[in-house]
Every structure is written in structure tokens, then in C-alpha cells.
Amino acid sequence: TFVVTENCIKCKYTDCVEVCPVDCFYEGPNFLVIHPDECIDCGLCEPECPADAIFQDDDLSDEQQIYVELNTDLAEIWPNISLKKAAPADADDWNGKPDKLKLLER
């Protein structure tokens, strides 16, 4: 499965949702996640993310492993998103900033 990771936080460009053939993205206040049981591993979303936040689970670093659980858990409680929307006004300022996990809103 594919996993949304830290650099999506406070960027949330949503280019990813437009290309997903099975609409398996779910939206929180400042982050998106992929439902692992719905993702068909097509890989279409990965190159679409301007923040390079999407990875195949096999390619995650040790520090990124926490995002497997976050995607699994939050996809169960957040609403589905299948249409692109405007990114936060300051998204570009946050792109690439370190230590964004503590800023994740549930």
C-alpha cells in the first residue's frame, strides 16, 4: 500500500486525490491519509504530490514507520476526499519544514 507521510502536514496540496482511481484518500484538518485496505497500489498518486509526501510502504524509512499506523487509524475516522481543493495559503512555506508531526491535527 501507499502511505502519506510527514511532509503533507500543513501542505495538503490535494493533487493526489484527483488521480486515485479508487478514491481512497481521507482528509483531516491539515493532513491526508490513504486507506490501506482500499489502495490498489497503482502508484499514480506518488509523482503527483508537490511535497513528495507519498511513499510505498516498502520504501519507508524507520522514522516514517509511524505513518503506517497513522494512515490506517485516521482513514477510519476522517471523511473521504476525492476532489482537489485549494491548498492552505501558507502551504509553500511549510513544504520541506522538519518536525511537522507535532503539528498534526486530528
Q: Which residues bind ligand SF4 (CB under 6 A)?
A: 2, 19-20, 22, 24, 34, 39-45
Q: Indicate which single residue of 13, 26, 78, 94 sits in contact with ligand F3S (rule: CB under 6 A).
A: 13
We find the least distance from the C-beta atom of residue 89 to ligand F3S, in angstroms, to be 14
11 residue type, one letter: C
Instruction: Please tell me whether residue 14 binds ligand F3S under the rule CB under 6 A.
Output: yes
Q: Indicate which single residue of 53, 70, 74, 75 sits in contact with ligand F3S (rule: CB under 6 A).
A: 53
Instruction: Please tell me whether residue 75 binds ligand F3S under the rule CB under 6 A.
Output: no
DSSP tally for the chain: helices H, then strands E: 3, 4
> Would you call 7 helix, strand, or coil by DSSP?
helix
